[in-house]
Amino acid sequence: MIDDFMLESILSHFNLPGKLVKAERFGSGLINETWLCEFMDHGAGRKLILQRINRAVFARPDLVMANVETVTEHLQSRFKKEDVSDPAGVTPALVRARSGRSFHIDGSAEYWRMYHFIEEGLVFDTVQDNVHAYEVGRGLGRFQALVSDLAPDRLYDTLPGFHHTPLHLAELDDAVGRDARGRLADAAAEVAFVQARRDLAPLLTDLVANGRVPVRVVHNDPKVNNVMVHAATGKALCMLDLDTVKPGIVHFDFGDCVRSAANPAGDDADLDSVFFDRSRYAALSRGYLDEARSFLTQAETRLLPLSVKVITFELGVRFLADHLRGDTYFRVSRPGHNLHRSRVQFRLLESMESAGL
Ligand code: GN1
Ligand code: MG
C-alpha cells in the first residue's frame, strides 16, 4: 500500500509548484498507478499527475522514459513551431525530478514520473456521440501526423511483440495447456470461440513482415480514454498515455481506436449492451482520415478496415489468457473480471462479423 507519507516522500524528489494540498487516485488505466496531486502556490492552485510505472509490464522503465521524453519533446517542438505559447497546456509534458532526470527511482527500484495536468482537457471512458467519435478519430490522426516526421529508429521497442497477435495466441495456448488456476472449465466457450478464428491472428503481422505498409511511430493504445478533448469545445486536444508509443503500423492504432469507440457501452459493459455501432465507426473514420490522409499511402488507407477485427480479437485473447494465468497482467477489481472483459471483446467481434466487417 502507498500511504500519504510515502507519496510526500516521492514528491519531494520533483520540482513542485508550492505546497501539496491533496493527492488522490486518478483515471481508469489497467497498468500503471496514477494520482492527481494538487498544490497551492501563493494562493494559486496547480495540479500535476504522478504515476508509478508498472515494472511487471515494462521490464525497462528507463527506456520507456527515454521514449516518452523523445515523443513529448517532439510534440512540444511541433506546437512551438505553430506558435502555441504554452505547449504544456495542450500536450503531455513531463515535470523534471530534482536530479534533472525525467523520473525518480525509489528505494524499491520503482520508477515514478510526473506530468503537467492539462486543465482544459477532458477524457471519457466511452464515446458520447458521433461528434465525439469523429474527434477521437481526428485526435489519433493528428497525433500520428505530428510524429510522422519522427524517425521510428529513435524509439526503443519497450514491449517486444506488443501487437504481435500470433504471439498472444501462443500465450493463450500455453495458458490453456497449463490451466494454472483451474479456470479452464468455465472458459471453454471462449477458448472454442478463439479456436474458430485463429486465421485472424497473422493478418496484421503479415503486413509488417511483407513490407506492404511502412513502419512508423504509432501510439499503440489509442482507446477512447487516451484521446483528450477540449472541455469547452469538445475538439480533440491530444493523446495521453505515451508509454506504448514506438515503431509499428498505423493499423494497430486504427483498429484499437475503432474497437474501443464503436462499442458505445465500453470495454467493461454488460454483455447484452455490447454491439458494433456502424455510425460511430463511420464518424471515427472520417475524423481519422481528415488528419491522416496527409501522410498515409494508398495501401495503408485501403488496408485500414482489416485491422478492426484483428485488434478486437487480440485484446479478447489477451484478457482470456490473463484470466487463465491468474490475472498477472491486467489489474482486476473482482473475480472473473478478465474473463468478462474477454467476453465483451468477443461479443463485439461477433457483432462486427454480423455487420459484415
Ligand atoms: C491497457 O492501462 P491502459 O488501460 O491504458 C493495455 C492496452 C489495452 C487496455 C485495455 C501496456 O492499457 O493494451 O488495450 O489496457 N496497455 C498495456 O483496456 O498492455
Ligand atoms: Mg491509459
- How high is the pLDDT of residue 100? 96
Task: Say which ligand is closest to the CA of 227.
Answer: 2
To test the ligand 1 pocket, which listed residue (245, 259, 330, 337) has its Cβ within 8 A of the most ligand atoms?
A: 330
Q: Ligand 1 in contact with 311 (CB < 6 A)?
A: no
pLDDT category of residue 201 using cuts at 50, 70 and 90: very high
The string of pLDDT tens digits covering residues 10-30 is 999 999 989 999 999 999 889
Residue nearest to atom 1 of ligand 1 (CA): 30
Q: How far apart are CA 317 and CA 311, in angstroms?
A: 10
pLDDT category of residue 4 using cuts at 50, 70 and 90: confident
Grid cell, residue 46, equals 496547480
Q: Is the dihedral of CA 327, 332, 334, 339 positive or negative?
A: negative
Residue nearest to atom 19 of ligand 1 (CA): 31
Residue 17 near residue 41 (C-beta atoms within 8 A)? yes
Q: Which atom of ligand 1 is nearest to the CA of 243?
A: 11
Query: CATH 3.90.1200.10 region(s) of the chain?
Result: 130-354
What number is the average pLDDT over the span 279-289? 98
What number is the average pLDDT over the span 277-297? 98
What number is the average pLDDT over the span 81-96? 93
Q: Ligand 1 in contact with 201 (CB < 6 A)?
A: no
pLDDT category of residue 3 using cuts at 50, 70 and 90: confident
Grid cell, residue 79, equals 506546437
Residue 152 near residue 250 (C-beta atoms within 8 A)? no
Is residue 278's pLDDT more than 90? yes
Residue nearest to atom 14 of ligand 1 (CA): 221
Q: Ligand 1 in contact with 315 (CB < 6 A)?
A: yes
Q: How far apart are CA 16 and CA 48, in angstroms?
A: 9
- Reported as half-sphere exposure (CB side, CA atoms, 13 A), residue 11 has a value of 25
The string of pLDDT tens digits covering residues 101-111 is 999 999 999 99
- Label residue 236 left, alpha or beta by phi (over 0 means left) and psi (-120 to 50 means alpha): beta
- C-alpha Rg value of the chain to the nearest Å: 20
Q: Ligand 1 in contact with 30 (CB < 6 A)?
A: yes
To test the ligand 1 pocket, which listed residue (25, 28, 30, 313) has its Cβ within 8 A of the most ligand atoms?
A: 30
Residue nearest to atom 18 of ligand 1 (CA): 30
In the CATH hierarchy, which top-level class contains the domain 4-119? alpha beta
How far, in Å, from the CA of 124 to the mean position of ligand 2? 12
Q: What are phi and psi of 311, to 5 degrees?
A: -70, -35
Q: Does domain 130-354 have CATH number 3.90.1200.10?
A: yes
Residue 233 near residue 21 (C-beta atoms within 8 A)? no
Q: Ligand 1 in contact with 29 (CB < 6 A)?
A: yes
Task: Say which ligand is closest to the CA of 92.
Answer: 2
How far, in Å, from the CA of 146 to the mean position of ligand 1? 22
Q: Which atom of ligand 1 is nearest to the CA of 28?
A: 4
Q: Which atom of ligand 1 is nearest to the CA of 267?
A: 18
The string of pLDDT tens digits covering residues 320-340 is 999 999 999 999 999 999 999
Is residue 48's pLDDT more than 80? yes
Average pLDDT over the chain reads 97
Query: CATH 3.30.200.20 region(s) of the chain?
Result: 4-119
- How high is the pLDDT of residue 345? 98
- Reported as half-sphere exposure (CB side, CA atoms, 13 A), residue 132 has a value of 20
- How high is the pLDDT of residue 135? 98
- How high is the pLDDT of residue 1? 67
Residue 314 near residue 165 (C-beta atoms within 8 A)? yes
For the chain, give the secondary structure using H, E and C.
Answer: CCCHHHHHHHHCCECCCCEEEEEEECCCCCCCEEEEEEEEECCEEEEEEEEECCCCCCCCHHHHHHHHHHHHHHHHHHHHHCCCCCHHHCCCCEECECCCCCCEECCCCCEEEEEECCCCEECCCCCCCHHHHHHHHHHHHHHHHHCCCCCHHHCCCCCCCCCCHHHHHHHHHHHHHHCCCCCCHHHHHHHHHHHCCHHHCHHHHHHHHCCCCCCEEECCCCCHHHEEEECCCCCEEEECCHHHCEEECHHHHHHHHHHHHCCCCCCCCCHHHCCCCHHHHHHHHHHHHHHHCCCCCHHHHHHCCHHHHHHHHHHHHHHHHHHHHCCCCCCCCCCCHHHHHHHHHHHHHHHHHHCCC
Q: Which atom of ligand 1 is nearest to the CA of 329?
A: 19
Is residue 84's pLDDT more than 70? yes
What number is the average pLDDT over the span 299-309? 98
The string of pLDDT tens digits covering residues 224-272 is 999 999 999 999 999 999 999 999 999 999 999 999 999 999 999 999 9
The string of pLDDT tens digits covering residues 117-127 is 999 999 999 99
